[in-house]
Each structure stands twice: as structure tokens, then as C-alpha cells.
A and B are shown apart, each in its own frame.
Chain A
Amino acid sequence: MLENFSFRTIVEYLPLFGQGLVTTVWLSALSFLGALAVGIVLCAMNLQRGWLFRVPAKAYIDAVRATPLLAQLYFLYFGLPRLGLVLPELVVGILALSLNSGAYVAEIIRAGILSIARGQVEASVASGMTYVQRMRLVILPQAFKVTIPPLLGQAIVLVKDSALLSLISVAELTRAGQLLASDRFMPAEGFLTIAAFYLLLYYCLKGLAALSARWLGTAGARL
């Protein structure tokens, strides 16, 4: 079985995989930043008491979570141009990942905020802080730490979801695997190699999270 496995071809295609990897990394990073922005806005809307902001935010989060990312991606890629908005595929890809992941990030941040003990809110209210002050000084610094592990999980999901962008011909990592598979009829080599690269990215993200946890981990930050 292994005698049919061509390491030589993988080496030959390494520059292509390298390019794909670099593209996957930076477009995932941009998308994750976008998702954080979308998530923070959605979460802020969702935590309002009035329905005016809360209802649209909830509807958006439900819509994104209920539908496949592929359908969302195809809507943006094939649907939007028919409605008169033509965007480059990279932009569509980053937009799709940001908008999709943002819904999940919103829920992660909301859970983090709600996990902060009620007494913290009461203590800051009682000291005369405004909503913005208690969010900024008391709630968010504590919530941020709690949300790092689930946010990391979401970042890992996002990196893997970015593989779907190969379907709208973005030259990312999975696309490189597809090229090797179709050019040389070597799907085993192609897809196993990209799997190895995704695994590598996974460990990088885990290391990053451990670093940030240590950086944020002041002595008293335990509840």
C-alpha cells in the first residue's frame, strides 16, 4: 500500500502547499478579527433590554447558526452578483467567514459576560458606575479571560471552515491539495498533506491560547 504513496510528489508540490498555507493563515486571521468585531457588536445588541437591537441580533444569530456555511458562502458568491454586488472571491470568502463566525463569537462573549457573578454587577452599580464603565472596568476584563478557551475553539473551527473557500477557487490550503489530487491523481498524498498542515495550525493556535492565558493570568484573577 505504502509503496504507492509518493513522498517525492509531495515535496515537489511543497511550494504550492506553502502558498496555500500562507493564504489560509492570513485569511483566517483577518476573518477572525472580522468575527470578533461582528461578535462584539451582535453581543452588545443582544444584551440590550429593549427589543429594537436585541431582536435583530437574535434573528441574525439564529439564521447563521441554522443554515450551512456552504449555503451562506454560495449566497454571497453566486447570489450577491445577481443582486448587483460583485466582489472578488477573497473578499467574499473573508466576509462569509467573518459573518458566520461572528454569530458564534457573539454567543461565546455573551456566555462569558453572563458567567460573571451577579455580585460583580451589583458592586459596580452600587459604586455609581455607568453601564459603559462597569462593562469596561469590571465585567469585560473578567469575561475576557473566561472566553479565551471557547474563542480559541471557534478560531480552530474557522481555520477548518476556511477549507470551504476552495469551492469558490480561493487558492488556500485545501485548494492546493485539490490541485495535487487532480493534476497527478494523487488524492491520498494531496489530502493527507493538507491534513498535516491543518494539524500544525491547530497546535499553533493552542500554543497561542496558552501564552495569552499566562499573559492575562494575574494572581488574583481566579474567582
Chain B
Amino acid sequence: MTSNPKGPASMTTTGMIDFRGVNKWFGPLNVLKDITLSVQPREVVVVCGPSGSGKSTLIRCINGLETIKDGDLIVDGQRLGDPATNMTRLRTEIGFVFQSFNLYPHKTALENVTLAPIHVRKIPRAEAEQAGRELLAKVGLADKVGAYPAQLSGGQQQRVAIARCLGMRPKIMLFDEPTSALDPEMISEVLDVMVAVAEEGMTMMVVTHEMGFARKVAQRVVFMDAGAIVESGTPDEFFSHPRTDRSRAFLSKILRH
């Protein structure tokens, strides 16, 4: 496996996630246009772009929450849509953090974290609970083990959601605007956890406009507009020297605030 995290995407590399000429339509709308992108193991890629540019759709394709129309999408060596690919099993290797957390409201924080490990991974309950407590402690919620989602703040819920993904010991973590639904004072507590996950070497794709996060841990920033990847580069290149008019226009809007 070629490993050049900072190198450009190419057709020949086999990454952890490989988009090769991927297209997707919602009705007549071409929401993903000829996407070619390769994410290497342990690489952190931040995806940004204006609303409706296809960023969320892009990462939702990776675990099959959306299906692609044509092109190839290869995740962890398995081609999506291939009859030989067991999507349910592949999903156990991919953690997905949603903008709206989507914790199970009828389960405690600990139960949220242990549910899939126990029932999907078939880990013995005691072991899963031990691991779950450790994960909740890691995201700073050791005292919220028995709390229900409705009793937690947005930032706490999102940290439980991250712990829930980590409980499956995934190879890849996908984040779909993880801090967009949060009050400003809760954003950093979630980003801190994400930085910690990134520093442990997780392969991550993060849809976010949090530039501080991108500069800190991302090897690459991908800028999308109207369903296409317009620009791709290191955070420094992208934020300091955007190459296209569209990325400059976008950055001037998010920087103003």
C-alpha cells in the first residue's frame, strides 16, 4: 500500500477510501460529479464547501447511507455495490458521527456505547461495558455513564456519539458537520475529542468549517462546490493561498465571522 499522506490523489494508489470517477444524481441533480479522491490509512481529510455542495453526500456514500450511480468506491479494499461486499460487515469498520448526534433516546450513555459492540461485534457484555466506561471517561463523560441523552447537553451527546463509534474499534471515522448543531461554547469540547482521535492515528474524513481543527490535524483539505471537488491541498495551502475564485469567495465568507 502506497503511503504518502500528503501526496495528491491518483488513480493508482490504493487508499483506505478510494473514490474513482464517482457520480451520483438526486433525480436530475448531479450531486456528485466525477469524484476522484484517495484517503490513505491514518490520514485526516477535512471536507468543506458551501451548503448543498455535496460534502455530506460524499461521506454518506462511504458507509452506504447513500448509493452511487457510477464510478468505483473502494473502502478498506472492498468495492461498494459489489455482490461480494458485505455492507453490514463493512459498516462495522466505519464509525459515523452525525450532525444531530442520533443517540438512542431510550438507552443510557453507556448502553448507547455498548449496544452495537454487544449485538453486532458479539463482545461479551461485561467486557463491552468495561470498554464503554473507559471510552466515556476518555471523552470526559465518566460521570454521565447512566445518563439518558435527554439529560445531556448537545456537546455531551456528541461526545457520547463519538464514543459510540469508537466502541466498535473502527478503521475509519466519518464526521458529518459534528459541531454545526452545537452552541458555540460546546464546540471546543467536541473538537478536542476529535483531535485526540486523530492523534491516535485514525483514518478520518471530517465535513466541517472548523479551520482551527483542520490546521491542527488535517493533512488535506478538500473544497467542494456544486458536487465537484474544486480544490485540494494542505490546510496551509488552502487557507492561506486558495487557488480558485470559488474557494476564495467561500473562505472570505466563513472568515468574516
Residue numbers of A with Cβ under 8 A of B are 117, 119-120, 122-130, 133, 137-138, 141-142, 145, 218-223
**Contact between B65 and A133, CB atoms less than 8 A apart:** no
Asked if B107 is at the interface (CB within 8 A of a chain A CB), the reply is yes
Q: Show 22 residue pairs from A and B whose CB-CB distance is below 8 angstroms, ordered by the A residue.
A: A119-B100, A119-B101, A122-B96, A122-B98, A123-B98, A123-B104, A126-B63, A126-B91, A126-B94, A127-B115, A128-B89, A128-B120, A133-B119, A138-B104, A142-B104, A220-B105, A220-B147, A220-B148, A220-B149, A221-B106, A222-B105, A223-B150
What chain A residues lie within 8 Å of B116 (beta carbons)?
A: 124, 127-129
Residue count of chain B within 8 Å CB distance of chain A:
32
What chain A residues lie within 8 Å of B151 (beta carbons)?
A: 219-220
> Knowing that A119-B102, A125-B65 are A-B contacts, what are 17 other residue pairs whose CB atoms are under 8 Å apart, sorted by A's residue number?
A122-B98, A122-B102, A125-B91, A126-B63, A127-B116, A128-B89, A128-B91, A128-B120, A129-B119, A129-B120, A138-B104, A142-B104, A218-B148, A219-B151, A220-B147, A220-B148, A221-B105
What chain A residues lie within 8 Å of B88 (beta carbons)?
A: 128-130
Interface readout for B77-109 with A: 1 if CB under 8 Å, 0 if not?
Answer: 000000000001101101110101111111110
Interface readout for B145-156 with A: 1 if CB under 8 Å, 0 if not?
Answer: 001111100000
What chain A residues lie within 8 Å of B95 (beta carbons)?
A: 126
> For the complex, what is the distance from the CA of A120 to the CA of B103, rounded to whole Å?
7
Interface readout for B36-56 with A: 1 if CB under 8 Å, 0 if not?
Answer: 000000000000000000000
Residue numbers of B with Cβ under 8 A of A are 63-65, 88-89, 91-92, 94-96, 98, 100-108, 115-116, 119-120, 147-151, 164-165, 168
What chain A residues lie within 8 Å of B92 (beta carbons)?
A: 127-128
